[in-house]
Structures are given as C-alpha cells and as structure tokens.
C-alpha cells in the first residue's frame, strides 16, 4: 500500500489518493448491482481493522452510565464520535450524525416519536448465538451517540436446534415454518430467552434496554389449516416502543404476534421488520446477517449498491437472481415503495454497522429507491426553471455573487456539454467536452438528500461510463473532499483548490492536458507544474459542501465579460466590537458563510494583534478599537454595519460616537446584542417573526432581543388575545452555562486568552441552579414587547401586561428550554391551541412546530426555534407549552444575522444554514 509523502515520485501520483481511513490505495471502480461490484481489497481490510479497533477501545475504556444519562467513568459522546473518525472523514461522520439525530416536522406531525425514526434493525438468530458481544457493543455505541434503533430479532437456528433435540423435524411450506402448538410453545420460550440474553448483554455495557417480546404486533391467521399458528400482521402498536425510548431504553422486540382472542402467533421476522418500518418510516432499515450483504451469483462478489428505480427491471432478469434472492429483492422493493425516498435498506454484518451508517463508502449492500437518471445536451432539454433553482441554491459562484445563473447558461450554450442528474434534481453535474479535448466536470451540485442517499455515486457512475477520462476541481477544504479522492486516479492541491482526474496514467500527459486547459481558460491558471496534493487530514477547517469550479482569474481578456451585470448584489462590510465571547464566535461563522458580507474589523482588547483563525474569506486580525477609532471609521464610512457584542452598559460611548458621525455623513447600521437599547423607542426591537421585520428594513439602529426573551415571546405571542386578564402566565426557563458568558482565563500555547465560561459544568455538577428569581431583565423585556400584541381595547383598559419568569442554569453548554404555564380566559382544546401557533408562524422557516415536547439536545447547535408539548388542563382553562432554542444562535447570533440582513437589504436568511434549523 502506498502512502502519500513529500518525496513521492510523480509517476506514483496516479495511485496516490486518500481513502476514508486516511490511507492511500488504488481506487476501485464505482459500484452498481448489475455490473460494477465492490471488491475486497486492502482498503476493506484496513476498514475492518479500524472497526475492531473502535470496538476494542470501547471495551477497554468501559461503557457505564448513571440513571440520569451522565457518563461516569465511561466513554462520553464526544469520545465515541472521535473514535468514529477512524472509519471515515470527520465531516462524513458529523454529517450523518447530524442527519440521524435531528428531529423531523414530519415525525411530529405524523404522530411518531422522532427518535423512533432513526432505524429499524432486524437481527438474525445466528447473530445472537455467534456475535452477541459485538452486537451489544454496536447497539451501545449507537445509543451513546443519542440514537435509538428499534431492534427486532429472530431465533430460527436456536429453535431448530431445540426442535431437533426433542425429535421434532422442522417443517416448511412455501418457505414458511408450519407451527403447531408444541412448536409455538418452544418458539415462545426460545424468543423470550434470546430477548433476555440480548437485553442483559446491553445492560452489562451500561445501556438501558427494554425487552418487548409481545404486545406490538396484532395478527390474523395466515392460513390456519395450511400453516397452523402462523400470523399475518394486521396492526402495529408503536406505543410500547415509544414508551421505551422516552424512558431512555433501547426497545428489543421479537416477531411474536397476538390475534384478537389473545392467541400467540408466529410471524416471520423479516416480514415483521417490514411491517414495523411501514409504521415508523425510519431513515434506515438494517438487516444484520453473517454474510454482510448480498453477493453476485456469478462473480461471487459483494454488491455495494442497488438503485431500484434505475436497476430493478434489469436486475430481476439476471440469471443468478432467483429463489430466495429474487424474493428478498422483491420484498425490499415493495417495502421501499411505501416509504419516503429518504428511507433505505442496508444488509450488513455486525462489525461493519458503524462504517455502513457513518461513511459515504459504506460496507454492506445498500438498497434504495433512487431515481431514474437523465443526461441531456442542453439547459433547455433539462428544464431551465429547475436548473436555475438548483444553481441559485447550491452553486457557491452564484450565491457569492461572482457569477449570475444567466452568465453560466450563456457560457454553456457556447461549449459542447452534457448535463447529468436525477429526476428530482438532488444531484446536477455538468461535463464540458469540446470535440477532441479532454472532458472537464465544471459543476457538481448535490443536495443534502443527494449526499445522504448516495445519489452522488449514481450520477458519477453515469459520467464515468460516458467518459474514459475526466478532470475536475474542488475547494481544498471541501467538506466532502474524501469523496473526490476516492474517485480519482490522482490529484494535487495548490492555492486553496484541489485538481482531480481519472483515466490518465502518465503524469507528463497530465501536465500537458492541464497546460491546454490553462491556455484555453477551461481551468484556472494555478495548477502547473503538477505537484503532490495535501492529504485530507492535513487540510485546515472545512466549509460548506461545494465542488463547483471557480471562475477564471480576472484578467484584461475576460474582465469585460464579467463586469457589473445587472443582478450583481453589492457587498457590505461589518465590524464586530467584542469578538471574544461565544456569541461573537458564532456570528463570525455566520458572516463567513454569508454570500455578501465581509468581516473587516474584529475588536477585542485581550486578543489585539492576533490573527482571527475562524474566518476564511480574508486575512483579519483582532484590534482594540477605541471610541475615537470607531467614531473616525464611522465618519469615513469605512464600515456598513456595526455589531456590538459587549456587556450590558458598555456600548453607549461607541453608539454615541457613531451617532455623532451621522452629522458628518456617517451612515452605518448598528445592531446591539446587549440589553442597553431594548426599551428605547428610537431603536427597532428586532424579533422578526413577531415584530421589527419591516421596521428593520428602514432602520439603522436595531436592538437584538435576549435569548430567554426570544423563547418566552415566541411561546406567548399566539396566546396573547386568549390569556386570562387577571392571572399572569409564568415561564420556567433552563439555559446551558454558555448563557452566563465568559471570563478571562489562562492562555493557550500561542498566547491567546482562552474563552472560559463564567460558570462551568463542573461548577454545577449534575444539578441546575436557579438565579435572579424575581425582576429578571428578560421578564421586563418580554412583558414590555408582548404588550404590543394585545388588542388595543384591552391594553387601554387594563393594567400593563406582566408575566412571571424564573431562570435557571444547567450543566450543558448551549440550548434553552422554557416551559410556559398560561391561564386562559375561556376553555380551549389542545388542538385549538396548536392551530393558533400554526396560524401565527405560517411560512416562518426558522420555526418548527411539533406535537411532542422538544428536547433541548435537538435545539443545541440549530438556528431555529422549536415548540411542542401542548397540553391543556382538564378544566380547559390552563395551557402548558414548551419551547427550545440555542441561546447562542436564534437567541443571539442567528437573530442578529436576520436583523443585519433586513437592515442591509439582503434576504433575511442569507448566510444562515437552512439545513440546521
């Protein structure tokens, strides 16, 4: 196996590429069911070693947990995530984990507990006999990541052994076990034993598990005369499963069912898993078996992927697809046809479960519906409206304002090209192929769903079938750079971009081709001479997924072509005063992601002179701006917007200096993150979902709401006209310790002051700490602004609106959960209350409404607000509603970005990752 190093000869470049394990091996061909099959090469062996290493590391350190879910002496979630990095790239792992753990509107609206929608795992009986420890370890691993797979197991081999020992020959008809009363009696005993065995193994690892041997499936006789006590499932009761998950336990099911009279019936475990999946609609249906996948009947090699919509008809005609294989594939297609397209089936061995779930490469056989692919020679043939939307939403060149969609379309008309993609446009790729020249993939634009469901592989395979050689580029810090390396024969990185190619073996020929590209302008002039690339693990911080080619370097020859087209969006400059704290750090990340904002000044007394590490658009260093500095800069209009991220009571001199500059032509917008101006009538109070949205578009002075106040007001606003006029509502809020702010701490190895919380998790232990029990500033803030939502007749004739608020700090980092108790003027139903929220927040993209109580863990790191858990007292005149948000994001930085966008004339959500709400 070759490893990339600085003295690697150029001739070796064609095989030097990283895999997800950070090793470098010769790439195998992309895979499909009918013709392109995965081979078990050295990279597979290395992956197996890594999986075993992860397992051994978990055993060595131990998996224990307390009743409260706090890890004591065992491995915490962060440690387990770091171990996962040995299986694939960090960003692969984090992306899949984020997708698997986020709550879904559909889950809540459909009445299914979101945690139950992660995965249904069907486990063969042989696994329980031969791989029990590995199985328990894998399930514990997933649970420590906050995931709750619903586990259903069989016990066929164990049952056969006992039947044979008692002189009973197992009998089958049409592949179905004929079950008489004695067989059923033994089967029930075996199922209970195996269920308890798995539950006990999990409990030994500190993972809570709940055995559910019966009570989930209701069935009628399949054909009593023919099969005996065999059932056909008619109903699935998800209540026992959801109760187990709510209690923090993994549900462990058997396939035993009951009929209306209470008779136990035997049901095929695969069939039961399918019926369970139809009710829960999980993202993954996983079949664990000893083989670890489906195998080609001729070559004997494992099939990596089956895309049913594209391959099913041809696959079912293959000579080797017959008997059990044909039945299984047909059953899986029938199952997936009833589920959302995001659902897929994985057939995998126990020790490869983590690799299948958390890496792009996978390990077993992945079966998904997919979509039929297309390839067209022009924009018009594909559909300009759909393509325009894809380019607008996904192409960094367009979102950054470097090029317009019209400019790209015009360029395509002048160059022979083919557009590849799938029917719902989850992936769009453009390959330029002038006559007699080497093809270049100029665009590769996948959606999140396209990545998750590996449609990217399907489209790339189609490209590879048409083009024996291909070149393409990607940003060097591309989140999915490992995907590119795995599909290339060679690559190298320079000036922040990586060039990839396949189908060219000689490095001298590579240089000649690139020289031609640079001469014709098909690829930017940065890649000659050819040199070795930087391995993925040595690259710096990553940014959003993007593989599109950058525009050519501006020159006299092409500048006139790109100058000032009508749709170009002007860029604005932002100065951040007070950048060391948590909110400042999050705002820097949002500005870095913004297509039209540039951070030009960051002011921090303690960090002055040090470079700003987390900003990638340009080189920026911290400064220590005085009031006089700010006034002079404002007078000269050096900055378009000022963000004050300062402690309460500190920012007034800076604001006064900027105000004074207005008399001399200064025009800067100010957004204050503190509480100093939240009660000033001359300032716009910016909580866009409730008030301030239109005002902010005309305002230059905006006060950003407090984090608790945002949660409280969003909870109460829909209810304001219906509240009891005498009894005041109350809000019990609990925030992560980041809400208490930071303090000066020790310095790191570079001499930078560390960002240290004023209150730490260690200070709090396992408890929460109430504080400011009366007259908290967010109580007055919320009461003041909510009063404006009362009917004018009510506010004029009654006392000022007041609420009661009790804040608490908890031993988690970020995230607020608030419980509202509100007396009502008249009796109402929970459904009526929920409709009020739906009406109030219709069309608000940062608001998620659900029937279940939101979990603060679902809000952490997210840019939106979540509400749920509506319950009305038996009297009908008191309602309880729960809201959650991240105090550093929607409670501060994200809301600041909304206000900045409105004040500066941009789309309100520009720069805010809408897949993280």
Distance CA 791, CA 784 (A): 14
Interacting residues of 411 by C-beta distance below 8 A, sequence separation 6+: none
Question: Pairing state of beta strands 669-672 and 119-123?
Answer: unpaired
Distance from C-alpha of 348 to C-alpha of 122, rounded to nearest angstrom: 11
Specify whether the backbone of 3 is left (phi greater than 0), alpha (psi in -120 to 50) or beta.
beta
The residues facing 808 across adjacent strands are 734, 770
Separation CA 354–CA 823 (nearest Å): 49
H-only helix segments in 467-609: 481-486, 507-520, 556-562, 582-593
Instruction: Of 605, 626, 620, 624, give the one whose Cα is nearest residue 574.
Output: 620
Q: Which helix (H) or strand (E) holds 422?
A: strand 417-422
The position carrying tokens 């329980």 is: 128
User: What is d(CA 659, CA 456) in angstroms, rounded to the nearest whole number?
Assistant: 52
Joined tokens for residue 542: 């990553």
SS3 344: strand
Nearest Cα to 287, choosing from 182, 152, 131, 386?
152
Is residue 431 within 8 A of residue 440, CB to CB? The reply is yes
CB-based contact 527:514 (threshold 8 Å) = yes
- Cα 729 from Cα 724, distance rounded (Å): 8
> Are residues 821 and 777 in contact, defined by beta-carbon separation less than 8 angstroms?
no
Centre a 10 Å sphere on the Cβ of residue 67 and count the other Cβ atoms it contains: 7
> How is residue 436 annotated by DSSP?
T
Q: How far apart are CA 715 and CA 718, in angstroms?
A: 7
Non-local CB neighbours of 851 within 8 Å, separated by 6+ positions:
108, 109, 111, 834, 868, 869, 870
List, as one string, the DSSP characters of 263-294: -EEE--HHHHHHHHHHHH--SEEEEE-SS-S-
Q: What SS3 string covers 686-737?
A: CECCCECHHHHCCCCEEECCCHHHHHHHHHHHHHHHHECCCCCCEEEEEEEH
Q: Residues 911, 593: contact at Cβ < 8 Å?
A: yes
Pairing of strands 365-368, 344-348: antiparallel
Cis check: omega of the bond before 313, within 30 degrees of 0: no
Catalytic pick from 249, 651, 707, 896? 707
Tokens of 668: 């800067």
Cα angle value 96/100/103 (rounded, 5°): 135
Whether 896 sits among the annotated catalytic residues: the reply is no
Q: Summarize the chain as % helix, strand, coil (round to 5).
A: 40, 20, 40
323, two tokens: 């008997």
Q: How far apart are CA 567 and CA 498, in angstroms?
A: 30
CA triplet 157, 158, 164: central angle to 5 degrees?
A: 85
Any long-range contacts for 110-113 (C-beta under 8 Å, 24+ apart)? 110/281, 111/851, 112/238, 112/242, 112/279, 112/280, 112/281, 113/238, 113/241, 113/242, 113/245, 113/246, 113/852
Residue 566 makes CB contacts below 8 A (sequence gap 6+) with none
- Show which residues are catalytic: 707
């Amino acid at each position: 196996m070759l490893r990339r190093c600085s003295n690697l000869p150029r001739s070796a470049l064609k095989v030097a590429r990283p895999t997800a394990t950070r090793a470098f091996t010769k790439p195998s061909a992309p895979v499909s069911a009918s013709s392109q099959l995965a081979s078990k090469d050295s990279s597979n062996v290395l992956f197996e070693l890594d999986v075993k290493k992860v397992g051994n590391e978990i055993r060595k350190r131990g998996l224990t947990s307390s009743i409260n879910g706090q890890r004591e002496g065992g491995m915490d979630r962060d440690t387990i995530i770091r171990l996962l990095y040995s299986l694939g790239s960090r960003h692969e792992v984090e992306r899949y984990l984020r997708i698997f753990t986020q709550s879904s509107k559909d889950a809540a609206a459909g009445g299914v507990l979101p945690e139950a929608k992660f995965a249904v795992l069907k486990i063969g009986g042989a696994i329980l006999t031969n791989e029990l420890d590995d199985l328990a370890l894998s399930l514990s691993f997933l649970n420590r990541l906050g995931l709750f797979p619903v586990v259903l197991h069989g016990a066929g081999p164990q049952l056969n052994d006992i039947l044979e020992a008692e002189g009973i020959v197992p009998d089958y008809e049409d592949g179905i076990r004929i079950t008489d009363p004695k067989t059923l009696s033994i089967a029930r005993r075996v199922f209970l034993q195996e269920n308890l065995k798995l539950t006990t193994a999990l409990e030994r690892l500190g993972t809570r598990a709940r055995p559910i041997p019966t009570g989930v499936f209701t069935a009628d006789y399949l054909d009593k005369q023919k099969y005996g006590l065999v059932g056909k499932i008619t109903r699935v009761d998800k209540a026992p499963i959801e109760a187990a998950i709510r209690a923090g336990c993994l549900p462990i099911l058997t396939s035993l069912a009951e009929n209306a009279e209470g008779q136990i019936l035997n049901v095929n475990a695969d069939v039961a898993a399918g019926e369970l999946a139809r009710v829960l609609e999980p993202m993954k249906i996983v079949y664990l078996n000893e083989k670890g996948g489906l195998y080609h009947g001729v070559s004997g090699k494992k099939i990596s992927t089956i895309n049913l919509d594209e391959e099913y008809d041809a696959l079912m005609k293959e000579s080797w697809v017959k008997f059990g294989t044909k039945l299984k594939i047909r059953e899986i297609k029938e199952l997936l046809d009833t589920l959302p397209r995001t659902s897929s089936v994985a057939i995998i061995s126990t020790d490869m479960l983590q690799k299948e779930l958390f890496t792009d490469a996978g390990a077993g056989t992945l079966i998904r519906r997919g979509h039929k692919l297309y390839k067209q020679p022009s924009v018009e043939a594909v559909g300009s409206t759909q393509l325009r939307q894809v380019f607008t939403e996904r192409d960094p060149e367009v979102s950054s304002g470097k090029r317009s969609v019209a400019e790209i379309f015009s360029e395509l008309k002048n160059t022979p090209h083919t557009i590849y993609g799938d029917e719902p446009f989850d992936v769009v790729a453009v390959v330029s192929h002038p006559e007699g020249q080497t093809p270049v993939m100029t665009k590769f634009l996948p959606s999140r769903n396209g990545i998750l469901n590996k449609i990217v592989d399907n489209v790339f395979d189609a490209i590879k079938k048409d083009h024996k050689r291909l070149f393409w580029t990607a940003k060097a810090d591309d989140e999915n750079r490992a995907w590119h390396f795995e599909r290339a024969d060679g690559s190298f990185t320079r000036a922040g971009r990586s060039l990839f190619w396949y189908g060219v073996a000689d490095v001298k020929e590579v240089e000649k081709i690139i020289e031609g590209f640079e001469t014709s302008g098909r690829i930017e002039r940065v890649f000659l001479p050819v040199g070795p690339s930087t391995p993925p693990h040595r690259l710096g911080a990553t940014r959003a997924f993007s593989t599109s080619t950058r525009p050519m370097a501006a020159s006299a020859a092409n500048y006139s072509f790109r100058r000032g087209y009508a749709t170009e969006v002007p860029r604005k400059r932002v100065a951040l005063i007070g950048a060391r704290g948590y909110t400042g750090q999050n705002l820097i990340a949002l500005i870095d992601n913004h297509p039209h904002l540039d951070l030009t000044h960051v002011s921090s007394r303690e960090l002055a002179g040090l470079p700003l590490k987390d900003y990638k658009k340009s080189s920026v260093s911290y400064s220590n701006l005085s009031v006089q500095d700010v006034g002079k800069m404002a007078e000269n209009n050096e900055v378009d917007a000022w963000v004050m991220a300062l402690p309460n009571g500190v920012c007034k001199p800076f604001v006064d200096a900027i105000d004074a500059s207005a008399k001399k032509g200064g025009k800067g917008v100010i957004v204050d993150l503190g509480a100093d101006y939240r009660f000033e009538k001359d300032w716009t109070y910016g909580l866009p979902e409730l008030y301030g949205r239109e005002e902010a578009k005309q305002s230059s002075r905006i006060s950003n709401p407090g984090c608790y106040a945002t949660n409280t007001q969003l909870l109460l606003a829909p209810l304001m006209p219906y509240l009891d006029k005498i009894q005041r509502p109350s809000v019990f809020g609990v925030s992560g310790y980041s809400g208490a702010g930071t303090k000066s701490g020790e310095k790191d190895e570079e001499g930078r002051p560390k960002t240290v919380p004023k209150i730490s998790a260690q200070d709090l232990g396992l408890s929460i700490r109430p504080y400011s029990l009366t007259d908290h500033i967010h109580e007055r803030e919320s009461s003041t602004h909510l009063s404006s939502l009362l009917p004018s007749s009510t506010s004029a004739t009654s006392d000022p609106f007041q609420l009661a608020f009790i804040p608490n700090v908890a031993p988690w980092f970020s995230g607020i959960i608030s419980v509202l108790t509100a007396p009502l003027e008249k009796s109402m139903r929970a459904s009526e209350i929920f409709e009020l929220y739906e009406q109030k927040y219709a069309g608000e993209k940062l608001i998620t409404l659900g029937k279940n109580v939101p979990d603060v863990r679902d809000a952490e790191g997210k840019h939106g607000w979540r509400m749920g858990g509506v319950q009305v007292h038996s009297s009908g005149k008191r309602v309880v509603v729960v809201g959650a948000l991240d105090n550093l994001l929607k409670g501060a930085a994200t809301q600041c970005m909304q206000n900045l966008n409105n004040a500066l004339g941009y789309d309100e959500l520009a720069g805010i990752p809408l897949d993280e709400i």
